[in-house]
């Protein structure tokens, strides 16, 4: 790659330094330590109750109360970090937009360069093939007249290798007939890995139909969990 001089318009004194404290509210660490101490107290209380199996209704109620406290602490943790994350996202999004805009310009022009080079090489290759075909026809005609045929020599017009350019071919699949693909998988002609189930749709059907869901090859599984209300 040739040397390319570029003078940045941004002075080094204007480059921001990584100071996450600027994004944090006042007394952040004090409040965070207090929140963590409270959360760990709740966790230790619950761990003590979970050290042995529930044997009585009283122990059952205590574990439920511990679960409610854990749910409340979890909400406090989420609410504590939420405004900080929102501030970071607000600062990050413009940077991501700038990066995308700058990269898109470069990618677009780079792709145009590649397309122009490819078009030239294909055009030159076609011209070379045509010249070779015409030369062979002339040689065959000369041989038919009893003259000694000359070797067909055509000067190559496309360089075998150019510095800075690497030809690359990629392939991608495009499903043009989904039902035909499904039949091929069902017939065993194609591996089932070619198809992926729509789990979002199936989960919604299972949640709505429950035990009455009737989709071939799919079973609605019931998962029981205990949710602690605050």
| Binned average pLDDT, 10 residues per bin, the chain of 230 residues | 48 48 78 95 96 94 95 95 90 92 94 90 89 81 61 54 71 92 92 92 94 92 85
Residue with tokens 């145009």: 112
Residues 97 and 197 in one domain: no
Asked if residue 196 lies in contact with residue 178, where contact means CB atoms within 8 angstroms, the answer is no
In 8-157, alpha helices (H): 28-50, 57-144
Residue 221 within any structural domain of the chain: no
User: Model pTM greater than 0.75?
Assistant: no
Residues 131 and 192 in one domain: no
Torsion over CA of 43, 45, 48 and 49, rounded to 10 degrees? -100
Residue 191 within any structural domain of the chain: yes
- Written as one string, the DSSP assignment of 138-156 is HHHHHHHTTPPPPP-----
Domain that holds residue 193: 178-212
Residue 153 within any structural domain of the chain: no
Which SS3 state, helix, strand or coil, does residue 78 take? helix
Residue 205: partners with Cβ closer than 8 Å, 6 or more residues away = 213, 215, 220
d(CA 195, CA 158): 42
**What is the DSSP secondary structure assignment for residue 215, as one 8-state letter?**
B
Residue 195 within any structural domain of the chain: yes
Residues 190 and 129 in one domain: no
Residues 136 and 194 in one domain: no
pLDDT reported for residue 161? 59
Asked if residue 220 lies in contact with residue 213, where contact means CB atoms within 8 angstroms, the answer is yes
Residues 96 and 33 in one domain: yes
Residue 171 within any structural domain of the chain: no
Residues 82 and 191 in one domain: no
Residue 86 within any structural domain of the chain: yes
Token pair listed for 215: 């989709």
Q: Among 144, 167, 199, identify where a domain stops.
A: 144
Residues 45 and 129 in one domain: yes
Asked if residue 79 lies in contact with residue 31, where contact means CB atoms within 8 angstroms, the answer is no
Residues 197 and 122 in one domain: no
Residue 174: partners with Cβ closer than 8 Å, 6 or more residues away = none
d(CA 191, CA 27): 59
Q: Based on the structure, what is the number of domains in the chain?
A: 2
Q: Among 129, 144, 159, identify where a domain stops.
A: 144
| H or E segment to which residue 203 belongs | helix 199-209
pLDDT reported for residue 136? 80
Token pair listed for 91: 């600062």
Find the distance separating the first CA and the last CA of the chain, reported in whole Å: 63
Residues 29 and 130 in one domain: yes
pLDDT reported for residue 147? 59
pLDDT reported for residue 18? 47
pLDDT reported for residue 4? 47
**What is the DSSP secondary structure assignment for residue 218, as one 8-state letter?**
B
Residues 30 and 132 in one domain: yes
| H or E segment to which residue 171 belongs | none
pLDDT reported for residue 155? 56
């Amino acid at each position: 790659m040739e040397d390319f001089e570029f003078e940045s318009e941004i002075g080094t004194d204007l480059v921001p330094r990584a100071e996450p404290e600027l994004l944090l509210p006042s007394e952040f660490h004090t409040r965070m330590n207090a929140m963590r101490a409270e959360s760990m107290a709740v966790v230790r209380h619950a761990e003590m109750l979970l050290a042995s199996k529930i044997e009585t209704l009283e122990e059952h109620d205590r574990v439920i109360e511990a679960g409610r406290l854990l749910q409340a602490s979890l909400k406090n943790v989420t609410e504590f970090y939420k405004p900080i994350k929102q501030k970071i996202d607000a600062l990050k999004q413009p940077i991501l937009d700038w990066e995308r805009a700058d990269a898109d310009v470069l990618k677009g022009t780079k792709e145009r360069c590649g397309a122009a080079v490819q078009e030239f090489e294909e055009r030159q290759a076609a011209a070379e093939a045509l010249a070779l075909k015409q030369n062979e026809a002339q040689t065959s005609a000369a041989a038919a007249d009893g003259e000694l045929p000359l070797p067909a020599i055509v000067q190559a017009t496309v360089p075998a290798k150019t510095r800075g350019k690497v030809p690359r071919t990629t392939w991608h699949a495009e499903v043009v007939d989904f039902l035909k693909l499904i039949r091929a998988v069902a017939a065993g002609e194609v591996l089932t890995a070619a198809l992926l189930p729509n789990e979002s749709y199936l989960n919604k059907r299972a949640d709505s139909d429950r035990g009455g869901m009737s989709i071939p090859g799919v079973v609605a599984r019931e998962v029981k969990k205990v949710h602690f209300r605050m």
